[in-house]
């Protein structure tokens, strides 16, 4: 999932540099959503590991 976040971030950066504002903002929005989902799943996985070992 982090891979797709980075892909959309790169697309947003390239589109922003070329002047495609709509594509850049859409790609940046998708990257933010995917990063948030990745972060939540990472924290849940980390908490499950800590509670399982305790």
Q: Residue 47: what pLDDT?
A: 92
Q: Residue 21: what pLDDT?
A: 83
Task: Look up residue 41 and give its two tokens.
Answer: 């799943």
- pLDDT for 4-19, tens place per residue? 878 888 888 888 888 8
- pLDDT for 20-52, tens place per residue? 888 888 888 988 998 899 999 999 999 998 998
**pLDDT, greater one: 49 or 2:** 49
Query: Between the CA atoms of 18, 24, 28 and 29, what dihedral angle is there, to the nearest 10 degrees?
Result: 180
CA angle 21, 24, 27 (to 5 degrees): 150
Q: Where are the domains of the chain?
A: 2-49
Q: Whole-prediction pTM value?
A: 0.71
């Amino acid at each position: 999932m982090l891979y797709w976040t980075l892909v959309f971030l790169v697309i947003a950066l390239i589109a922003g540099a070329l002047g495609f504002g709509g594509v850049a903002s859409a790609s940046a929005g998708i990257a933010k959503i995917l990063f948030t989902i990745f972060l939540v799943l990472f924290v849940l996985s980390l908490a499950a590991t800590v509670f399982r070992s305790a």
